[in-house]
Amino acid sequence: MGRNAGHIALRATLSSRDVDCCLIPEVPFFTEGPGGLFEFLDGRISENGHCVVVVAEGAGQDLIPRTAEQGFDDSGNLQLLDIGQWLVAELKKWWKKHNPDKLFAVKYIDPTYMVRAVPSNAADTFFCTLLAQSAVHGAMAGYTSFVAGTVNGVYCYIPLDQISQSTHKVDIHNHIWAWVRSINSQPDFKACENRNSNGSASDMDLNFTPKEKAAAAEKSD
């Protein structure tokens, strides 16, 4: 789950508070090299003896080699490759190369059907009942090409063409993504990659954004 947006992965990370790294489609990352994902995970494993990574389905699709057969499905949607299995395989190869004498095991869990199979609670039932009733009332009133939903807490009819105009992606400049990084202290992988391409960088450069470095400098003073 999380083909185009990482809302579920993000909120699972915030709810668990045991996650060391959260990977979502909106935030690019790289695996190998200084400041990369594998180096970060290696540090967490060395520090805690384990680490937990939450990965959205659409994360890191640009990293996986594609073949000519892997194109679009019958609905016109891009066929996503299995980022979870790919990460596991690549991490095992990287670990064997850099830590050949250290014991290493990966437990991979795909929670897709676990999420869908959770029994509904009272709030779920109440919400779905109102949506169903709203849809029936709208159809009986003669409306077509609409979906029942809520806008600012108010139940309303939303035209399908307006819904399809944009996707609800995670705003990585919003405070919610800042909460995630404040909980697990994961680095800004894209910033690390840019610094690597522009020249060498210190450990502080690789793990913190300029704003975070300024705040750390003020605190140290």
Residue where the block lists tokens 């039932």: 125
pLDDT digits (tens, 9 = 90+) for 121-133: 899 899 999 999 9
pLDDT digits (tens, 9 = 90+) for 72-95: 776 677 778 888 889 999 999 998
* 126 and 96 within one domain: no
* 85 and 175 within one domain: yes
* 75 and 17 within one domain: yes
Structural domain tally of the chain? Answer: 2
Give the pTM. Answer: 0.72
Domain that holds residue 183: 7-117+168-220
- The DSSP symbol for 60 reads T
Judged against a pLDDT cut of 50, whether residue 203 lies above it is answered with: no
Angle between helices 7-16 and 175-184 (to 10 degrees): 50
pLDDT digits (tens, 9 = 90+) for 103-117: 888 888 887 777 778
Which regions of the chain does DSSP assign to beta strands (E)?
Answer: 21-23, 53-55, 146-151, 154-159
To the nearest whole number, what is the mean pLDDT of the chain? 81
* 113 and 131 within one domain: no
pLDDT digits (tens, 9 = 90+) for 138-183: 999 999 999 998 888 888 999 988 887 777 888 888 888 888 888 8
1 in any annotated domain: no
Tell how strand 146-151 and strand 154-159 pair up.
antiparallel
- Look at residue 63 in the predicted model and tell me its pLDDT: 86
Judged against a pLDDT cut of 80, whether residue 136 lies above it is answered with: yes
